Structure 1
Amino acid sequence: MKTLSRLILLFPKICLSVVFAAPVKVIFDTDMETDCDDAGAMAVLHTLADRGECEILATVTSVRDVNSIATVDAINRYRGRPDLPLGMVKSAGVLEPTKFASKIATEFPHRVTSAEAVPDAVMVYRDVLEKQADHSVVIITVGYLTNLKNLLQLPASDGHPSGLDLINAKVSKWVCMGGNFVGNPPKDELKLGNVNFQRDAKSAYEVIHHWPGETVFAGREVCSVPSGLQIGESLASTPADNPVRRAYEHYFGGKAKNRHVADLATVLYAIRGLTDCWDISEPGRMNLQPDMKFDWQPGTVGKQRYLLKKPANDRQVEAVLNELIVAPPHGSR
């Protein structure tokens, strides 16, 4: 207790947020297919859960590759949460080549026996959200918006509310990795790319135009390749049986190397908020076009915002994420 008291005196904002704030309830929605930062994001998520900062309600994938959800389950298992609800896209959705997911699914134990045995992600969303207190759940998407589109369109049936009613009642915030917010006001001509929207453009268009609640975008200029932020090579210091380390090794075809922090930063913001890492825009609205280009429409009636880089703190953000990505599972020696 003396040590804790000294920490609170030295770092009151940090300690009070960790010790006294209720854990953030999270549904984590990932593509876990084309880039290893999804695996890194899961390491960050589980470390924050180990420290009591969040409660992981479910982990789902936004792709049709069964190896992707098997990789998610393998990471959950390694991190001491083998029973987390799983779900994947069961209808039309994205399927891309992967450098690591099929290998992780082969190398590590998991409970995924077939795609048919995995529940539809939209049903997992429904079942999990129904059990939560009103306005208590943060949804994190670091992949495609297929599952959220399916949730928005889910009708009421057999005594269950519609997906839209559940979103309005249960979700406090949606945090989305995607978009390029360049300029003031921002305008995205896709010169930097935006695959999280482009690969399932119909779903992205539907969700971004019709999501009813608070939304925060983590743009590519803040945390993906254009940002210049990167970590990952430190995973070489973690155990050889760490599936996150192996995901980075397979992705790079050898040693784990540094990679951008898009999905990791999105998780960090969703759980801890702005802290000293970012600023945030004024409210507005993404005027997304069917080709996934957009311009930003400022206005107090909008419920959407986007993260802003703080000057000269890139190394600080990297240091925070690096400490979280290499932290051992709770209870390990």
Structure 2
Amino acid sequence: MMKCFSPLLIGFILLATPLQAGEPVSIIFDTDMASDCDDIAALTVLHALADAGEANILAVTTNTKDASNASAAACDVINTFFGRPNIPIGTDKDGKKWYWRDTPSSYTGLLRDQFPHDCPPDSECPDALTVLRKTLASQPDGSVVICSVGALSNLADLIESTADDLSPLTGRELIQQKVRWTVIMGGGFPRTSAPETNIRLDVVAAAEVATEWPGPILWQGFE
């Protein structure tokens, strides 16, 4: 994902500021767990905040295809290590490949093979959109923060989703009703000559989220 990790840490600290004293922030973490290993650190920070009673990790979704077929397993390894093995995990079946190559991740397969977890291969996991819709539908209005690091494919899919057996609301309506705000690691500010990596992973999805997302977004650039 080629980005600076320190600003991401600050973003997570901001996310940990509760609406009321003692109230944890409910977070859905959308990640390209397969590219740079800083996603491991980002999810670890979330668990540290959860241990401190400042965050409640509702679900994890992965947004890029991993040739190792192990992005979800890597997430589950981390969740299991921190004592939260039952966090729902969904994968993007039609999303962009990591860096447009068939090169396996340098670390997801290692985590899958060397540490405890019970997650199936990415191809057999629930779809990311299903996990997003199901999780949002189950939460109180205006209570969820979505944090996305990676391609914006899943968020674009959520915008376009229609009513189903999980919720009578469309994706736009779910976002408007359930999502408090959305934090995205993507882009560069001031504007750069070339798209930042997370934007470049799925330019069409990024443009849709930037222009069509029906709620407040905090953009954290790579700088």
Question: Structure 2 length normalisation: TM-score?
Answer: 0.84
Whether 1:35 aligns to 2:42 is no
* Deviation per residue, 1:91-115 (Å, 9 max, x gap): 2432343221121111112222233
Find the aligned partners of 1:113 and 1:49 in 2 and give their Cα distance: 25
| Pairwise CA distance, 1:19 | 9.1
**Structure 1 consecutive aligned stretches of length 4 or more whose deviation exceeds 4 Å:** 16-19
How many aligned positions are there?
200
Whether 1:170 aligns to 2:174 is no
SS of alignment partner, residue 55 of structure 1: strand
Find the aligned partners of 2:90 and 2:203 in 1 and give their Cα distance: 21
Partner in structure 2 of residue 152 of structure 1: 159
1:143·1:177 contact (CA, 8 Å) conserved in 2?
yes
1:239-278 matched pairs, under 5 angstroms:
none
Q: Which has the larger radius of gyration?
A: 1
SS of alignment partner, residue 122 of structure 2: coil
Find the aligned partners of 2:134 and 2:20 in 1 and give their Cα distance: 30
1:94·1:200 contact (CA, 8 Å) conserved in 2?
no
1:88-167 matched pairs, under 5 angstroms:
88-96=91-99, 97=103, 98-158=105-165, 160-167=168-175
Find the aligned partners of 2:147 and 2:18 in 1 and give their Cα distance: 20
Partner in structure 2 of residue 205 of structure 1: 207
Cα 1:17/1:29, change in 2 over 3 Å: closer
Unaligned regions of 5+ residues in structure 1, if any?
1-15, 222-333
* Deviation per residue, 1:185-218 (Å, 9 max, x gap): xx3322xx51100011111111111001111011
1:67-106 matched pairs, under 5 angstroms:
67-96=70-99, 97=103, 98-106=105-113
Find the aligned partners of 2:50 and 2:118 in 1 and give their Cα distance: 21
Whether 1:188 aligns to 2:192 is yes
* Deviation per residue, 1:300-325 (Å, 9 max, x gap): xxxxxxxxxxxxxxxxxxxxxxxxxx
Partner in structure 2 of residue 331 of structure 1: none
Partner in structure 1 of residue 12 of structure 2: none
Find the aligned partners of 1:92 and 1:137 in 2 and give their Cα distance: 23
Whether 1:216 aligns to 2:218 is yes
Find the aligned partners of 2:75 and 2:221 in 1 and give their Cα distance: 24
AA in 2 matched with 1:143: G
Partner in structure 2 of residue 252 of structure 1: none
1:18·1:52 contact (CA, 8 Å) conserved in 2?
no
SS of alignment partner, residue 45 of structure 1: helix
AA in 2 matched with 1:20: A
Find the aligned partners of 1:94 and 1:152 in 2 and give their Cα distance: 21
RMSD of the TM alignment (CA)? Answer: 1.9
Find the aligned partners of 2:169 and 2:183 in 1 and give their Cα distance: 23
AA in 1 matched with 2:107: F
1:62·1:94 contact (CA, 8 Å) conserved in 2?
no
Find the aligned partners of 2:188 and 2:22 in 1 and give their Cα distance: 32
AA in 1 matched with 2:200: Q
| Pairwise CA distance, 1:18 | 11
AA in 2 matched with 1:160: P
AA in 2 matched with 1:142: V
Unaligned regions of 5+ residues in structure 2, if any?
1-16
